[in-house]
Chains A and B, each alone.
Chain A
């Protein structure tokens, strides 16, 4: 009977990050992963001469070796910074507006601001004010976090201070914009819908339309991606996942692949171990679930083991969005079909909120399209003279779950065909250069991730369920969570959160 300090269920980004920090700090950890390869979302697959990245678009928090951002610092701590080739990206994203107009935003505050002022001269003043506000917003967050961290043992100190002075007085910008939607804030600043679309892009990283996307996450993304620059990784996210798995093993801890967990074992209401799919029990002082809380509570525990308060608590969280993605290998370089920037958001109308409503259906006639050409970030990503593009839209799983098996393949190809047709109006010749193509639907994501609805970003992250309200409360002693379900999703945030969870376990142990 094996006994560990910590058991981690799932080798996704959150699970690997927690396990790596614990292992590096001499804890005996066992990670159990049901798939044959580590990474969860952070993985890739091969078709013909191509290797397709599944999830990573742009990594944040890297910055340079000399001025390491938080993500780079973690990889340094885990001892694998130099095992990976990091590739900086100079452009944040390109917004492709209806009618063919395109705006590519440089990853530099001044340049981005200048470009937008040039593109939208009537609103130049507002653009400058907006950028100032976004930066101030982030400074206030940094200050607030520093103050909270300085008195963790005594929150009442902070509380007294805030009560006395009043939060809005100390943190003016935070108080004004901290719990508002992106659309709401952009409407306050700008008239032009086109300009708004040029600034709201990151909504697609969280799967919430601008009218529900918390402005505070947009402001964080804008700031962090600009300051630390977006990065890509040679070989894709699978390289990071594998590097983390090897770190864990190198420090004497275990990663068991092809070994799903079917139950969490409780003793007197406390999580004490797990049972794997072969019926073997493994025990530990602490269990970290990298699996969604939904599946953890409703799949790995019995109904009667889940406290009523827990069920009540999760009622306000709804399963998030999934995606329909076309993984495309072309037999020509990107410039042959007019692809110039790596990360593209493509709108065929100016009403992103309305277009987003199509996410509840299987067809892709109106949805904004996200298209990434990895070849532009890293020309070595596929053989010379070829290129890789992934193009897709965000889709809720429900409509796909309702399909009968007979309808599935046809529906999937129709949706993909519609995306290609729409892309071809901007990138003529795209279809005839396709050499390989795979289509992933919400059901594909459900299969590989095991998430309800095939969700790729966890629960819906609107104002009431993210930022201040992530479902981080714990209900079963000994059981905690580390994943994009309980925290901002994305690679950088999940590595950071995984590390944070590990740090708190290390502290408990002392």
Chain B
């Protein structure tokens, strides 16, 4: 007895002790060797969330005078599953600056042979211009994602969906529509698409053809700058929503488009007394004229130059540009994905100084207690000291 470790000795005298010790001995003989676990987790996680997607451009085609759809295949043949409405964040290096932009996938989620994104030109846009003008089939791109929460959630969304899209904000809806119609899902979709002109409307032909073929898909194009026969003229307002949606309180509403249109639609839905829980939104980035956002410090123009200290490095930053942009411009590598304040990957500690936080930054309570910011939604309004 005295030769045994004290633990075994004690347990041996306890009720059910000897039985437990015996069981332990058995388990040692029959158990699995941990070396079998090598890379199991890594491989499983990569199936759904690879750290990087290595993509190759397979096709590029214009879908409007200012927009192209870009088909992407995987370098190693594998693309992870996604939910229609999600985006990927595409990285590129332009003039020596490594940056990225999120683009909603517009292809059907029912197939994973390729992903398709649709890029619209933005005036003076840094990345959209590059993708539209310089990218060609065979080029390689890195991306992360798919990510995002702008998608159908069967547990609490209505089977009756109303899509309110404006401009390039049609892209996630194209994916959702293709996904539902191609698989014959039991859902009803009404799409109201606001575009300046018929020509500028993306995927108009495909959407019209879908509407002809599928009785559960209703499509109306609304032109703001053009009057055309058989098409509606004006904006996406309450009267129009009411006219096209029979049972307005039974639907889930999905909004995607330019900030102005989103705000307009929000008010329209409020007027119609649609509860907030029935409204989902995707904002395509932060407004360019951040200095016009409510709460922007009086007297500042967006042109002020401040210094940011990060580690050993000191860089210059303009108040009208996000901290993330300033960091990327000077070659500091920051983790990013959504670039719209939601995912928190670009989080940094604000050691000193002040920032303006744009709408939509989903900070945690702890961030506010301990001074952390989402650099994609934070604008320098004094000299700053940051820490990763």
Contact = CB atoms under 8 A, between A and B. Distances in A.
Contacts of A313: 28
29 contacts: A36-B344, A45-B344, A168-B13, A168-B14, A175-B13, A176-B15, A177-B15, A179-B11, A235-B366, A239-B366, A243-B370, A258-B335, A299-B38, A299-B39, A316-B24, A316-B31, A331-B275, A405-B112, A406-B81, A413-B153, A420-B156, A437-B155, A439-B155, A446-B45, A447-B45, A451-B41, A452-B40, A464-B24, A468-B7
A297 B34 contact: yes
A306 interface: yes
A207 interface: no
B10 A420 contact: no
A370 B49 CA distance: 28
A331 B41 contact: no
A251 B385 CA distance: 19
Interface in B1-59: 1-2, 6-7, 9-11, 13-17, 20, 23-24, 27-42, 44-45, 47-49
Contacts of A315: 27-33
Contacts of A417: 154-155
A331 B80 CA distance: 33
Interface residues of A, number: 80
Interface of A: 36-37, 44-47, 51, 83, 155, 158-159, 162-163, 166-168, 174-180, 184, 234-236, 238-239, 241-243, 246, 257-258, 293-295, 297-299, 303, 306, 311-318, 326, 331, 401, 405-406, 408-409, 413, 416-417, 420, 431, 433-435, 437-439, 443, 446-447, 450-452, 463-465, 468-469
A409 B83 contact: yes
B155 A298 contact: no
Contacts of B41: 295, 299, 446, 450-452
Contacts, number: 187
Which residue, B2, B10, B335, B342, has most C-beta atoms of chain A within 10 A? B10
Given A295-B37, A435-B277, A438-B149, A416 B20 contact: no
Contacts of B335: 36, 258
A37 B344 contact: yes
Contacts of B6: 155, 158-159, 162
Contact of B16 (A179, A235, A246): A179
A464 B20 contact: yes
Nearest to A443: B48
B153 A298 contact: no
B369 A163 contact: no
Contact of B155 (A167, A175, A416): A416
Given A234-B365, A463-B16, A468-B7, 20 more contacts: A44-B366, A155-B6, A159-B6, A167-B13, A257-B388, A258-B335, A298-B35, A298-B38, A326-B155, A331-B277, A413-B155, A416-B155, A437-B153, A437-B155, A438-B149, A443-B44, A446-B41, A463-B23, A464-B24, A468-B11
B362 interface: yes
Interface string B353-364: 000000000111
A464 to B, nearest CB: 4
A316 B83 CA distance: 40
B155 A162 contact: no
Nearest to A258: B335
A175 B362 CA distance: 53
Nearest to A215: B16
Nearest to B21: A464
B331 interface: no
Contacts of A45: 344, 364
